[in-house]
């Protein structure tokens, strides 16, 4: 009897433990509003235990040391959201991440990330490479922005886009619009040495020129293929942070009507934001005023007048330009 009783107690204890363990495992469900206002539910096939309240790092970035702000932000996310926002957590520069973090859990952005995730699973080729989508944030931290150049769509052919508007990866030759930009700089500064086929504008970004496209991704060989997916909403917030919520003096270079329309409803402090408008440098429009606009010199003249260092537009090593003439 003693043996039987002991066996029954042991069996009962095992069943209870199994029930408790099972009860602690729950499917991940993220609730948010869709763009049309209806409730939407995202369910992940993965399960997490109650231990998910512990610190979670991005799934592909175990060696990355997250900032304290990012660590705190991660704790507020569901597992589904954490997976969708892995790229932002691991590749976006901290000052921008902190300024933009409220966007990441909004319905439009989560839906955008779901779309991109589906494209990746379907093995659709997308530009720029994932690690370059937010390169603008790492090269031009929010507190370093001195000038903003707005583009439209990333280049959609191989080895071109790398996260900066108008810029292309080396050794890809400079596209026509960029060639016209070089020509305009040469008009403004005769000492400017033409960089030939080179088209990488990283040097400008490192000096505080935020070169931002309206859309940050594109399907290979299909222009505007990711338009109206949510990127426009996000980059509008980027622009606002750069020129409205940044206490620095900033030059806003608006080339073409799409760029100009993006900020026409924003209330700009004219003492702090210097706006320059002209046509787009594309060969289709450049001859209608781009070369005569003198935007590169006007940008630097205003920065110097406001006791800021000018942008060194030179791209050839050893090319020295006198910006104080």
Tokens representing 42? Answer: 């995202």
Sign of CA dihedral 276, 168, 229, 95: negative
Is residue 73's pLDDT more than 90?
Answer: yes
* Residues designated catalytic: 153
Query: pTM here?
Result: 0.81
- Residue 92 in this model has a pLDDT that exceeds 50: yes
Q: For the segment 184-202, what is each residue's pLDDT rounded down to a tens digit?
A: 999 999 999 999 999 999 9
> Is-cis flag, bond preceding 128, omega within 30?
yes
The CA–CA distances, whole Å, from 82 to 107, 150, 289 equal 14, 30, 47
Q: Residue 121, SS3?
A: helix
Which spans in 140-216 are helix H?
176-188, 202-206
pLDDT, position 124: 97
Question: 127-306, which class in CATH?
Answer: alpha beta
| 161, two tokens | 């886009």
Report how far residue 277's alpha carbon sits from residue 264's, in angstroms, rounded to the nearest whole number. 11
Measure the CA angle with vertex 115, ends 110 and 121; round to 5°. 125
pLDDT score at 64:
52
Rounded to the nearest integer, the mean pLDDT of the chain is 85
Contacts of 155 (CB under 8 A, 6+ apart): 127, 161, 168, 175, 218
Sign (positive or negative) of CA dihedral 14, 16, 19, 20: negative
User: Could you tell me which residues are beta bridge partners of residue 277?
Assistant: 254
* Structural contact between residues 134 and 92, judged by C-beta atoms closer than 8 angstroms: yes
Q: Distance (Å, rounded) from C-alpha 284 to C-alpha 290?
A: 11
Residue 30 has what pLDDT? Answer: 39
Query: Residue ranges per domain, the chain?
Result: 127-306
- Tens of pLDDT, residue by residue over 279-298, are 999 999 999 999 999 999 99
């Amino acid at each position: 009897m003693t043996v039987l009783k002991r066996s029954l107690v042991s069996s009962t204890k095992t069943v209870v433990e199994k029930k408790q363990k099972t009860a602690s495992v729950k499917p991940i469900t993220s609730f948010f509003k869709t763009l049309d206002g209806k409730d939407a539910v995202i369910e992940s096939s993965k399960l997490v235990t109650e231990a998910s309240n512990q610190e979670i790092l991005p799934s592909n970035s175990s060696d990355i040391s997250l900032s304290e702000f990012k660590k705190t932000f991660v704790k507020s996310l569901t597992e589904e959201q954490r997976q969708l926002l892995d790229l932002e957590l691991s590749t976006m520069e901290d000052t921008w991440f902190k300024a933009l973090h409220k966007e990441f859990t909004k319905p439009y952005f989560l839906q955008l990330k779901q779309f991109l995730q589906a494209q990746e699973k379907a093995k659709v080729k997308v530009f720029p490479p994932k690690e370059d989508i937010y390169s603008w944030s790492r090269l031009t931290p929010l507190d370093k922005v001195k000038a903003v150049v707005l583009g439209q769509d990333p280049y959609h052919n191989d080895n071109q886009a790398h996260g900066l508007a108008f810029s292309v990866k080396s050794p890809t030759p400079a596209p026509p619009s960029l060639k016209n930009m070089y020509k305009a700089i040469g008009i403004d500064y005769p000492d400017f040495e033409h960089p030939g086929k080179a088209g990488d504008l990283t040097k400008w970004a490192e000096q505080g020129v935020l070169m931002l496209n309206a859309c940050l991704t594109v399907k290979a060989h299909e222009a505007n293929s990711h338009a109206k997916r949510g990127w426009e909403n996000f980059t509008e917030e980027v622009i606002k942070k750069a020129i409205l919520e940044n206490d620095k003096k900033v030059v806003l270079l608006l080339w073409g009507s799409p760029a100009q329309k993006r900020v026409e409803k924003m209330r700009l402090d004219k003492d702090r934001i210097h706006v320059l408008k002209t046509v787009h440098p594309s060969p289709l429009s450049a001859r209608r005023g781009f070369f005569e606009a003198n935007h590169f010199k006007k940008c630097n003249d205003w920065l110097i007048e406001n006791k800021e260092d000018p942008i060194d537009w030179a791209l050839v090593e050893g090319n020295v330009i006198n910006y104080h003439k």
